[in-house]
Amino acid sequence: MPTSRIAVGSVRRPKLDAVKDVVSTIAPLLDIASEINVVGYEVESGVSHTPIFREELMLGARQRAEALREKLRADGTCAHFYIGLEGGLDVIADAAHKRVFLESWAYVSDGAAGHFGCSGSIELPEALADEVLSRGTELGVAIDEYAGAVGIRDGQGAWGILSANLITRQDSFRLAVIAAFAPFYNGRMYRAASAAARR
């Protein structure tokens, strides 16, 4: 039976599990083999360890997918889809002070075209945001200290800590991946919208 490879620019469990969950859901809508192999690879994002603006999050996700495509090409192989995932912060000025939101972004490419998707946002407590923004502490380190635990980003993530586990890190990336895949699994709608805009 032919196998379709979905390559993910991360080896972290919440990210890989999010992609596996999404792919198992949307596989019937994609033009790929029924046997799907989701494989994680370690690649660099080319952005800071904790991106602090939406543009940097998007750039990191896209650069992970592109670095992954080049890595596989250099190894003489390819994938049906290349996925880059990036989590970090979006800082927004709000009248008297700034608000800092945690977001998860995905970029999905078939090697020719690529599309972005984003999770929702959850606001960080001021003390946690200050630790990351003013002191330069990586979010994964800061959330461990904030919650009094170790390795949170490999499990529930900051999302889980801040939402009392109503939204986990995996949940946030799942939403981002579903949104980024939309132009591929719902291409007819995207093509119809593009055609209507050209009229």
Helices 187-198 and 169-185 sit at what angle, rounded to 10 degrees?
Answer: 60
Please state which of the ranges 102-106, 114-118, 122-126, 186-190 shows the lowest mean pLDDT. 186-190
Residue 149: other Cβ atoms inside 10 A: 12
Position 9 confidence tier, pLDDT thresholds 50, 70, 90: very high
Chain mean position to CA 95 = 30
Residues 138-190 pLDDT 10s: 999 999 998 888 888 888 899 999 999 999 999 999 999 999 999 999 988 88
The answer to whether residue 17 scores a pLDDT higher than 90 is yes
Mean pLDDT in the chain? 92
Q: Is there a domain that residue 142 lies in? A: no
pLDDT on residue 193: 66
The answer to whether residue 1 scores a pLDDT higher than 70 is no
pLDDT on residue 199: 62
Q: Is there a domain that residue 135 lies in? A: no
Nearest of 169, 170, 166 to residue 158 by alpha carbon: 169
Q: How many Å apart are CA 32 and CA 36, to the nearest integer?
A: 8
Question: Which has more pLDDT, 171 or 199?
Answer: 171
Q: Is there a domain that residue 84 lies in? A: yes
Q: Is there a domain that residue 160 lies in? A: no
Nearest of 19, 10, 9 to residue 171 by alpha carbon: 19
pLDDT on residue 184: 95
Percent of the chain with pLDDT over 90: 77
Position 50 confidence tier, pLDDT thresholds 50, 70, 90: very high
Q: What is the pTM of this model?
A: 0.92
Q: Is there a domain that residue 35 lies in? A: yes
Domain count, the chain: 1
What's 64's domain CATH number?
A: 3.90.950.10
Q: Is there a domain that residue 155 lies in? A: no
70 is in which domain, residue-wise? 3-124+168-198
Q: Is there a domain that residue 153 lies in? A: no
Position 97 confidence tier, pLDDT thresholds 50, 70, 90: confident
Q: Is there a domain that residue 134 lies in? A: no
